[in-house]
């Protein structure tokens, strides 16, 4: 005895995995019953066993989590998940549960009178569904493959004729008897599945299936042979009207090519039967070409609202309202050529329909118009009924607003908003209609994008009981201003309202690493009153270069705003630095207190803000530089005669020169942001200023604020008499703020010094 059989015995006798299940449930087979293995046509693999559990009271699926106990009756196979003949599953959200059982396709037998072996499997969840699986068995010492036999009953198998019927109806039964043989004996074959395979998609063409029987173990669109092997398949017509082809199979079909709707393989157009793969089933009725079916539309089964879909709509007196219905056949598909009668139920006068009878079109639609008189108000009801069955009808309700005068039409909220591209505006656009009778309820209001990159959640909205109508707005992908025009349907003298909106850009990606000293570009070198720079790749900010009309003066209407701790920083210039990066030059507000995490907000235009934290030092010296004739950046220096130092006009040892710098810290007297000292006075640096030449100190003459440029300092010092002579003598400025022991240094620059 093999290990599978030992495991099976242990589970059966010990009851290890059998779980009790609820009793108030029904169990029906969906698919997998009646399969036959071992036929010469190639059905060698069992398909899954699927059941449906429903509530015995309501008939509704039970949902997920219901326990299903599976039990096989013999030792010829096993459940793949357990390796035994018992297994436990639970239902999914649709109330279905699936088990996979393994059987060998070929089974030897020592009894020549037994051409097949059948295995019974039960699925229990309150009640029980029973599956029968058949293995064809070869006779001992006979080299003949077992086979299925079919004895047709009369002329019921439709060879050479076309099955014809209306959608939703049934045709004459197809009857035959099944048996199995092994070359020595033949026996009738009970509990075997018979299914019809359609060669066209039922969504596009006709379908025919075996009508479901009262046998809950058969499965969807499947019938089982009875105890004597007799089969009765009653064709049920469905799908779309028209001609089609089908096959009759025995013993189950591979789910890889068969759907629950009976749709097998699509045929090309024109049909080429040679393109169809072999059907994986135990037996197939041989016929060339396949069986034919022709499905007709059938009788009208239902009528339903089409437009308006709810059957309810608002309207004004003196208007015409279009309405429509859809007529479907008994299979739920649209049907053409059906007469629909239209009747005005109420009021008895003042309302008419364009046609008292209309006919459904190819899509099952029947159309009409309601003509509402000028004096009508309240509910108008119209009935649409099938001419063939007046009990099948729908009733439209049109709510007609009373004829009132609009006395006020106003914006409530939502005006003058800004939203970032491809996002929703924070507030809906809200308007209110007031009439002479009070709030204008149920009045259509039109919203229309007049300009800009905007989209609306609706273009027409009826006012509520308070006269309010509103829509939501989403910003598009293009920045700029936009507007929405709002009017009352028919105007009625209410005029128009305009909402002004703006679509802003997304916040640029900025970090503290984008902030540098405004003079020498040194990172983390900002101080109150000093100049700083925001440096980014060209295009990151999406703004153009702008130059101030006067050196040192803020740019009017700057496209970018920078604020330190909620204090605005003057923007002095927007351009490109020597490294080809876009640079926004600004003055750090003098009011900012030094710290390691000063919050900075950057806003481009009306776009979203970017927030970062930066380091602000008590002093952050930076030396202004310019590009000399050889392309090298060197310090800006002025000689005693007022001329600028250059390669052709170098500084001389022993002479006093003036350098320009920023970030030297507080002065006496102090100055405010955007300001320079009074014309009659000087603002001297409070800290200790240390000019440096070639690594050593130079004699300071003075250090004070510029009289002309906010945030700019002038530092006069003497070139040491022993300074080396070169075009690139190292130069820097250090500052020790008052009350501090820390000295802050500028980035290293260079100056030309010659005798």
pLDDT of 7 reads 31
pLDDT band with cut points at 50, 70 and 90 for residue 605 = confident
Question: b/e string for 409-436 if b means 16 or more Cβ within 10 A?
Answer: beeeebeebbbbbeeebeebbbbbbbbe
Strands 339-346 and 312-315, by their bridges, are unpaired
Can you tell me the mean pLDDT for 288-297? 83
User: What's the sign of the alpha-carbon dihedral 96, 102, 106, 110?
Assistant: negative
* Token output for 225: 């042979």
d(CA 693, CA 704): 20
User: What's the sign of the alpha-carbon dihedral 347, 353, 358, 364?
Assistant: negative
pLDDT of 460 reads 93
pLDDT of 641 > 70? The answer is yes
Which of 21-30, 159-168, 324-333, 354-363 is the least confident region?
Answer: 21-30
With tokens 């602000």, the residue in question is 616
- What's the pTM value of the predicted model, to 2 decimals? 0.47
d(CA 364, CA 40): 48
Highest-confidence range of 136-140, 421-425, 435-439, by mean pLDDT? 421-425
pLDDT of 259 > 60? The answer is no
CB half-sphere exposure, 329, CA atoms < 13 A: 22
15 contact partners, CB below 8 Å, separation of at least 6 = none
Alpha carbon 569 to its chain's center: 42
More confident residue, 534 or 21: 534
Beta bridge partner(s), residue 378: 400
Can you tell me the mean pLDDT for 147-152? 90
More confident residue, 71 or 604: 71
pLDDT of 22 > 50? The answer is no
Q: What is the DSSP string of 256-301?
A: TS--TT-B--PPPSS--GGGSPPP-EEEE---SS-EEEEEE---EE
Can you tell me the mean pLDDT for 75-100? 92
User: pLDDT tens digit string along 165-212?
Assistant: 988 889 999 999 999 998 889 999 999 999 988 887 777 788 899 987
Can you tell me the mean pLDDT for 452-480? 94
Can you tell me the mean pLDDT for 243-267? 65
Which of 97-106, 358-367, 368-377, 383-392 is the least confident region?
Answer: 97-106
pLDDT of 662 reads 97
Q: Is residue 245 within 8 Å of 267, Cβ to Cβ?
A: yes
Query: Strand, coil or helix: what is 528?
Result: coil
Burial class (CB in 10 A: 0-12, 13-18, 19+), 384: buried
pLDDT of 11 > 70? The answer is no
More confident residue, 11 or 499: 499
pLDDT of 271 > 60? The answer is no
E strands, 466-545, are: 468-471, 473-475, 480-488, 496-504, 515-517, 531-536
Q: Choose the CATH number for 3-138 among 3.40.50.10890, 2.60.40.10, 1.20.1060.10, 1.10.150.120.
A: 2.60.40.10
Which of 169-173, 410-414, 548-552, 686-690 is the least confident region?
Answer: 548-552
pLDDT of 280 reads 62
Which of 243-252, 288-297, 378-387 is the least confident region?
Answer: 288-297
pLDDT band with cut points at 50, 70 and 90 for residue 273 = low
pLDDT of 93 > 80? The answer is yes
pLDDT of 492 > 90? The answer is no
pLDDT band with cut points at 50, 70 and 90 for residue 42 = low
Query: Strand, coil or helix: what is 10?
Result: helix
CATH superfamily name and code, 406-495 = Immunoglobulins (2.60.40.10)
Q: What are phi and psi of 698, to 5 degrees?
A: -120, 150
Can you tell me the mean pLDDT for 618-626? 96
pLDDT of 494 reads 76
Quick one: DSSP state of residue 591?
T
Which of 22-31, 236-245, 295-304, 722-731 is the least confident region?
Answer: 22-31
Query: Strand, coil or helix: what is 139?
Result: coil
Which of 239-243, 444-448, 467-471, 702-706 is the least confident region?
Answer: 239-243
Which of 103-117, 232-246, 383-397, 577-591 is the least confident region?
Answer: 103-117
Which of 29-33, 281-285, 352-356 is the least confident region?
Answer: 281-285
User: pLDDT tens digit string along 293-315?
Assistant: 999 887 888 999 999 999 999 99
More confident residue, 740 or 24: 740
pLDDT of 106 > 90? The answer is no
pLDDT band with cut points at 50, 70 and 90 for residue 542 = confident
d(CA 149, CA 623): 104
**% of residues, the chain, pLDDT over 90:** 64
- Domain 622-753 indexed as CATH 1.10.8: no
Q: Is residue 129 within 8 Å of 63, Cβ to Cβ?
A: no
Beta bridge partner(s), residue 208: 237
Residues in the chain: 755
pLDDT of 51 > 80? The answer is yes
The kind and range of the H/E element at 397 are: strand 389-400
More confident residue, 540 or 665: 665
Q: Which CATH class is domain 300-400?
A: mainly beta
d(CA 604, CA 597): 22
pLDDT band with cut points at 50, 70 and 90 for residue 287 = low
Q: What are phi and psi of 580, to 5 degrees?
A: 80, 15
Q: Is residue 583 within 8 Å of 576, Cβ to Cβ?
A: yes
Q: Which CATH class is domain 512-616?
A: mainly beta
More confident residue, 507 or 753: 753
pLDDT of 102 > 50? The answer is yes
pLDDT of 470 > 90? The answer is yes
pLDDT of 344 > 90? The answer is yes
Residues forming CATH 2.60.40.10 domain(s) in the chain: 3-138, 300-400, 406-495
**Mean of all residue pLDDT scores within the chain:** 88
pLDDT of 20 > 60? The answer is no
pLDDT of 18 > 70? The answer is no
Quick one: DSSP state of residue 7?
H
Taking CA 621 as the corner, what is the angle to CA 615 and CA 625, rounded to the nearest 5 degrees?
Answer: 120
User: C-alpha distances in angstroms, 372 versus 316, 486, 673?
Assistant: 8, 26, 72
Q: What is the DSSP string of 423-444?
A: SB-SS-EEEEEEETTEE-TT-E
Quick one: DSSP state of residue 81?
T
* Max CA distance (Å), the chain: 131
Q: Is residue 372 within 8 Å of 320, Cβ to Cβ?
A: yes
pLDDT band with cut points at 50, 70 and 90 for residue 543 = confident
pLDDT of 389 reads 92
pLDDT of 214 > 50? The answer is yes
Q: What's the start-to-end Cα distance of the chain, in Å?
A: 112
Beta bridge partner(s), residue 68: 89
pLDDT of 13 reads 29
pLDDT of 6 reads 30
């Amino acid at each position: 005895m093999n290990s599978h059989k030992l495991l099976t015995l242990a589970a059966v006798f010990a009851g290890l995995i059998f779980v009790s299940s609820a009793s108030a449930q029904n169990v029906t087979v969906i698919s997998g019953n009646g399969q036959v293995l071992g036929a010469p046509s190639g059905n060698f693999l069992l398909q899954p066993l699927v059941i449906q559990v429903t509530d015995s009271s309501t008939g509704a699926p039970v949902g997920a989590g219901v326990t299903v106990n599976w039990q096989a009756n013999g030792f010829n196979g096993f459940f793949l998940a357990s390796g035994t003949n018992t297994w436990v599953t639970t239902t999914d959200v649709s109330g279905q549960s699936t088990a996979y059982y393994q059987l060998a396709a070929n089974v030897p037998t020592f009894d020549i009178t037994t051409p097949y072996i059948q295995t019974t499997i039960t699925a229990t969840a309150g009640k029980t569904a029973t599956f029968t699986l058949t293995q064809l068995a070869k006779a001992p010492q006979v080299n003949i493959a077992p086979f299925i036999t079919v004895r047709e009953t009369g002329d019921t198998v439709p060879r050479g004729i076309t099955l014809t019927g209306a959608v939703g109806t049934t045709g004459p039964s197809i009857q035959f008897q099944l048996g199995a043989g092994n070359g020595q004996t033949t026996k009738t074959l009970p509990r075997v599945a018979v299914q019809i395979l359609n060669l066209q998609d039922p969504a596009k063409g006709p379908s025919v299936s075996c009508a479901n029987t009262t046998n809950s173990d058969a499965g969807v669109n499947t019938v089982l042979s009875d105890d004597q092997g007799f089969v009765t398949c009653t064709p049920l017509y469905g799908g779309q009207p028209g001609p089609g082809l089908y096959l009759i199979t025995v013993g189950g079909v591979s789910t890889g090519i068969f759907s629950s709707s009976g749709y097998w393989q699509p045929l090309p157009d024109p049909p080429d039967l040679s393109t169809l793969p072999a059907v994986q089933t135990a037996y197939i009725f041989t016929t060339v070409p396949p069986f034919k079916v022709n499905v007709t539309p059938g009788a009208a089964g239902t009528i339903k609202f089409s437009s308006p879909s709810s059957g309810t709509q608002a309207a004004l007196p003196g208007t015409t309202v279009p309405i429509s219905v859809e007529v479907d056949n008994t299979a739920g598909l649209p049907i053409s050529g059906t007469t629909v009668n239209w009747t005005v139920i109420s009021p008895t006068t003042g309302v008419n329909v364009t046609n008292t009878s209309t006919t459904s079109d190819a899509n099952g639609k029947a159309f009409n118009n309601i003509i509402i008189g000028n004096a009508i108000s309240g509910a108008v009801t119209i009935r649409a009924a099938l001419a063939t069955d007046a009990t099948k009808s729908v009733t439209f309700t049109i709510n007609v607003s009373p004829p009132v005068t609009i006395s006020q039409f106003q914006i409530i909220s939502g005006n003058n908003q800004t939203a970032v591209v491809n996002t929703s505006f924070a507030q809906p656009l809200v308007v209110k209609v007031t009439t002479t009778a009070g709030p204008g309820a149920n009045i259509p209001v039109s919203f229309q994008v007049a300009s800009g990159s905007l989209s609306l959640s609706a273009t027409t909205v009826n006012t509520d009981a308070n006269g309010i109508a509103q829509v939501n707005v989403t910003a598009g992908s293009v920045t700029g201003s936009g507007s929405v025009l709002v009017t009352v349907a028919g105007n009625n003298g209410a005029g128009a309202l305009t909402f002004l909106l703006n679509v802003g850009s997304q916040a640029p990606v900025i970090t503290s690493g984008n902030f540098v000293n405004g003079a020498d570009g040194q990172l983390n070198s900002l101080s109150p009153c000093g100049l700083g720079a925001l440096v980014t790749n060209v295009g990151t900010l999406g703004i153009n270069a702008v130059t101030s009309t006067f050196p040192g003066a803020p740019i009017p209407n700057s496209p970018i705003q920078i604020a330190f701790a909620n204090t605005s920083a003057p923007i002095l210039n927007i351009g490109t630095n020597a490294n080809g990066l876009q640079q926004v030059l600004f003055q750090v507000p003098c009011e900012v207190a030094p710290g390691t995490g000063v919050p900075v907000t950057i806003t481009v235009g009306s776009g979203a803000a970017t927030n970062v934290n930066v380091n602000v030092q008590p002093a952050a010296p930076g030396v202004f530089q310019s590009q000399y004739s050889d392309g090298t950046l060197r310090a800006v220096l002025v000689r005693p005669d007022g001329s600028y130092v250059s390669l052709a006009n170098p500084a001389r040892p022993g002479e006093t020169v003036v350098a320009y710098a920023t970030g030297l810290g507080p002065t006496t007297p102090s100055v405010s942001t955007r300001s320079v000292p009074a014309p009659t006075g000087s603002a001297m640096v409070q800290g200790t200023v240390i000019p440096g030449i070639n690594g050593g100190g130079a004699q300071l003459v003075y250090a004070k604020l510029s009289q002309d440029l906010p945030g700019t300092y002038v530092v006069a010092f003497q070139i040491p008499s022993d300074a080396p002579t070169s075009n690139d003598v190292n130069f820097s400025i250090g500052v020790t703020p008052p009350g501090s022991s820390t000295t802050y240094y500028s980035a290293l620059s260079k100056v030309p010094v010659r005798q």
